[in-house]
């Protein structure tokens, strides 16, 4: 076969293949070792980001409840209800458990939703009184929607309110919502910093970053006890009448 030249790629590129194989051999046990400590890995990954007021999404035209819910009145007369961006940033990867069904009557301050993460939970209370008209089951099936689009596809309930005018007086709107969110972030920072020193000192370098900013998903590194205390302090406080 004139003109045919045979090349043994293993002879010409043997060193390159050996380097790649050696790299993979070293990488696999390293990766397995990291996965034996998932909580620490999660904390280190989250430390790459931070929760600052400038990063928070606070769309104008929505009402914001003191328990980190938001409301939007649709033309139909139904109020769309969801969870605000600050709470999503704090909690990190969570599963949303819907606790009410269409047709249910709900009172302001009653349980609407639970956010679950590795046995820890946060209780989300209804910011309004009314009748549940629709639920967004996609937030249960695809929890990432809450992180990606909390004010759009991440809505959780539609409620037909019965005391809308009086109950939204307990909410924040427009510039007042921005001011409240900034103050709330500072309160949460102080709460977590105190909890960190008392209960989880080994995570001090990843809960608060240089400059005093909270690490993204800062709450996820804490125990169920701290989650319960956080819920009582920031999510289950009296919502007014």
Taking the CA atoms of residue 194, residue 199, residue 203 and residue 207 in that order, the dihedral angle to the nearest 10 degrees is -30
Mean per-residue pLDDT of the chain: 82
What is the model's pTM? 0.76
> Residues near 180 by Cβ (< 8 Å), separated by ≥ 6?
64, 172
* pLDDT tens per residue, range 90-140: 999 999 999 999 999 999 999 999 999 999 999 999 999 999 999 999 999
Q: What is the pLDDT of residue 118?
A: 93
Tell me which of 9-18, 137-146, 170-179 is least confident: 9-18
* pLDDT tens per residue, range 13-68: 566 666 656 655 665 555 455 454 444 444 444 444 678 888 899 999 999 999 99
SS in 3 state form for 107-170? CCCCEEEEEEECCEEEEEECCCCEEEEEECCHHHHCCHHHHHCCCCCCCCEEEEECCHHHHHHH
Distance between CA 225 and CA 18 in Å, rounded?
50
Q: Under a CB-based contact definition with an 8 Å cutoff, are residues 113 and 96 in contact?
A: yes
Higher per-residue pLDDT: 219 or 193: 219
Q: What is the pLDDT of residue 173?
A: 96
- Phi/psi at 238 (nearest 5 deg)? -55, 135
The yes-or-no verdict on residue 208 having pLDDT over 70 is no
Q: Under a CB-based contact definition with an 8 Å cutoff, are residues 46 and 206 in contact?
A: yes
Q: If pLDDT is split at 50, 70 and 90, which confidence band does 241 have?
A: very low
> Residues near 115 by Cβ (< 8 Å), separated by ≥ 6?
83, 87, 91, 94, 95, 96, 97, 121, 122, 124
Q: What is the pLDDT of residue 15?
A: 66
- Domains of the chain plus CATH, in order, are 50-235 (2.40.50.100)
Closest listed residue to residue 130, CA positions, set 169, 78, 67, 171: 78
């Amino acid at each position: 076969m004139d003109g045919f030249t045979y090349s043994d790629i293993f002879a010409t590129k043997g060193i390159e293949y050996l380097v790649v194989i050696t790299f993979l051999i070293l990488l696999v046990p390293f990766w397995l070792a990291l996965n034996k400590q998932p909580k620490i890995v999660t904390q280190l990954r989250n430390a790459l980001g931070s929760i600052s007021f400038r990063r928070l999404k606070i769309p104008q035209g929505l009402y914001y409840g003191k328990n980190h819910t938001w409301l939007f009145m649709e033309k139909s007369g139904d109020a769309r209800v969801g969870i605000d961006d600050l709470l999503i940033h704090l909690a990190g990867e969570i599963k949303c458990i819907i606790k009410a069904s269409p047709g249910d009557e709900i009172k302001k301050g009653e349980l609407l939703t639970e956010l679950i993460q590795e046995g820890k939970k946060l209780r989300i209370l209804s910011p309004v009184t009314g009748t549940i008209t629709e639920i967004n089951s996609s937030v249960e099936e695809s929890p990432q929607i809450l992180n990606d689009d909390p004010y759009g596809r991440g809505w959780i309930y539609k409620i037909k309110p019965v005391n809308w005018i009086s109950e939204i007086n307990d909410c924040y709107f427009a510039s007042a919502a921005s001011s409240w969110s900034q103050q709330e972030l500072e309160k949460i920072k102080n709460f977590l910093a105190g909890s960190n020193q008392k209960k989880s000192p080994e995570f001090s370098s990843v809960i608060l970053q240089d400059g005093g900013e909270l690490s993204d998903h800062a709450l996820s590194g804490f125990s169920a006890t701290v989650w319960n205390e956080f819920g009582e302090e920031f999510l289950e406080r009296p919502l007014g009448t």
